Amino acid sequence: MVWGSAAPSPARAETKAPAVEASKAELSAARRQLFEQMSAATGIPWFNFAAIDQYERTIAKKKSPAEPARAARLTGIDIPAPVWCGPLNPDQGDTSPKSIGFFGGFGRDGDGDGAARADNDTDVLFSIASHLLKYGTSPSDFSIGVWEYYHNGRAAQRVAQFAKLYEHFGRLDLSGNAFPLPLGNSYAYRSTWGSGRSWGGARIHEGTDLFAPHGMTVRSTCYGIVETKGWNRYGGWRIGIRDIENRYHYYAHLTGYEKSLSRGDIVTPGQTIGWVGSSGYGNPGTQGKFPPHLHFGIYRDRGITEWAFDPYPLLKQWENEEYRALRKKKK
């Protein structure tokens, strides 16, 4: 089966490289259209294609200036030549579906032009679909297919989380953030990244401390999904939220959680998730070993490793953006 046999084939212009001047909204609309067309052809929901595409974008490595520029495409899915053509294929630039299949390659012809090209979005998505359909069509089958492609449990989890977010909101654009505390003059913070910590062994501070009154509302900074919730001997009552950019937002030392919130729940920017406290540095329930504050950290998953980076610049940006939006409303 090829793309054209299951649904009307899109015009070739729709799958060519997007124009440089195209706006973010136009590119997003074009990607959504491509995902929906492939969904109509294969029966796989559009948000599953979107989730795989987004995961690939979040783990993509930056190319050095010496490396050749990647051909502009709508999707961010890059399939290595040995996987696309087959590891024993002597022609690692092969585009013949017949010889690619002979060598056990991943590549398929999705648009019916007789070639399977790894730089063609339709061919790439159809090849992904062909792989996934070998395992079935249920959500659990989808997760199995993703795991069998990446052989990485973390990748399967991320793709499932992204698919859930896209399905819930029904759109690709999930940008937008909020400051983690209600704006005002009752909190204080500065950059505390890298400062020393002694409790629990020598370590550095991977985050920003926002000092605020006990019980002040703590808000989600992003559109995301609750990944972790519970006690941590360092962070006390803490909650972790994964956003669509594959960043893990970590809120620690809470006095409690919004009672309706559970792992796997979806949150939006500004939504209440808990309250400022002084929990941590001991067994579950330990309180008061330091002044009440919110420890906010942020980590980026790159596929194999997850690493922390200084959240202070983002906190200042989100705070300023929220202040600007409030001033604009008052005009």
DSSP code at position 294: E
Above 50 in pLDDT, residue 18? no
Question: What is the rounded distance in angstroms from the CA atom of residue 47 to the CA atom of residue 161?
Answer: 11
Question: What is the rounded distance in angstroms from the CA atom of residue 181 to the CA atom of residue 272?
Answer: 9
pLDDT band at 67; cut points 50, 70, 90: low
Radius of gyration of the chain (CA): 23
In this predicted structure, what is the pLDDT of residue 71? 60
In this predicted structure, what is the pLDDT of residue 178? 97
In this structure, which amino acid lies at residue 82?
Answer: P
Question: What is the rounded distance in angstroms from the CA atom of residue 233 to the CA atom of residue 228?
Answer: 14
Phi, psi of 138 (to 5 degrees): -80, 165
7 contacts 40 by C-beta, under 8 angstroms: yes
Integer CA distances (angstroms), 65 to 59, 69, 70, 79, in order: 19, 8, 11, 21
Q: What is the pLDDT of residues 229-287, one digit of tens each?
A: 999 998 999 999 999 999 999 999 999 999 999 999 999 999 999 999 999 999 999 99
pLDDT band at 7; cut points 50, 70, 90: very low
In this predicted structure, what is the pLDDT of residue 157? 95
Take residue 124 and report the two structure tokens written for it: 């790439």
78 contacts 84 by C-beta, under 8 angstroms: no
Question: What is the rounded distance in angstroms from the CA atom of residue 186 to the CA atom of residue 209?
Answer: 14
Above 70 in pLDDT, residue 79? yes
Q: What is the pLDDT of residues 281-322, one digit of tens each?
A: 999 999 999 999 999 999 999 877 888 999 999 999 999 999
Residues in the chain: 331
In this predicted structure, what is the pLDDT of residue 331? 76
Q: What is the pLDDT of residues 90-111, one digit of tens each?
A: 999 999 999 999 999 999 999 9
Spatial neighbors of 98 by CB under 8 A, at least 6 apart, are: none
Spatial neighbors of 205 by CB under 8 A, at least 6 apart, are: 192, 193, 194, 195, 196, 197
pLDDT band at 177; cut points 50, 70, 90: very high
In this structure, which amino acid lies at residue 226?
Answer: V
Question: What is the rounded distance in angstroms from the CA atom of residue 252 to the CA atom of residue 309?
Answer: 16
Percentage of the chain surpassing pLDDT 70?
Answer: 86
HEC string for 101-153: HHCCCCCCCCCCCCCCCCCCHHHHHHHHHHHHHCCCCCHHHHHHHHHHHHCCH
Report which secondary-structure segment, H or E, holds 203: strand 203-204
- Mean pLDDT rounded to a whole number for the chain: 89
pTM over 0.95: no
Mean pLDDT of 1-26: 47
Percentage of the chain surpassing pLDDT 90?
Answer: 78
- H-only helix segments in 200-251: none
In this predicted structure, what is the pLDDT of residue 16? 45
Q: Which residue has the tokens 């398929």?
A: 108
Question: What is the rounded distance in angstroms from the CA atom of residue 75 to the CA atom of residue 72?
Answer: 9
Above 50 in pLDDT, residue 185? yes
pLDDT band at 8; cut points 50, 70, 90: very low
Above 70 in pLDDT, residue 197? no
In this predicted structure, what is the pLDDT of residue 227? 97
Q: What is the pLDDT of residues 114-138, one digit of tens each?
A: 999 999 999 999 999 999 999 998 9
Name beta bridge partners: 203.
197
In this predicted structure, what is the pLDDT of residue 63? 53
Above 70 in pLDDT, residue 182? yes
Mean pLDDT of 6-11: 37
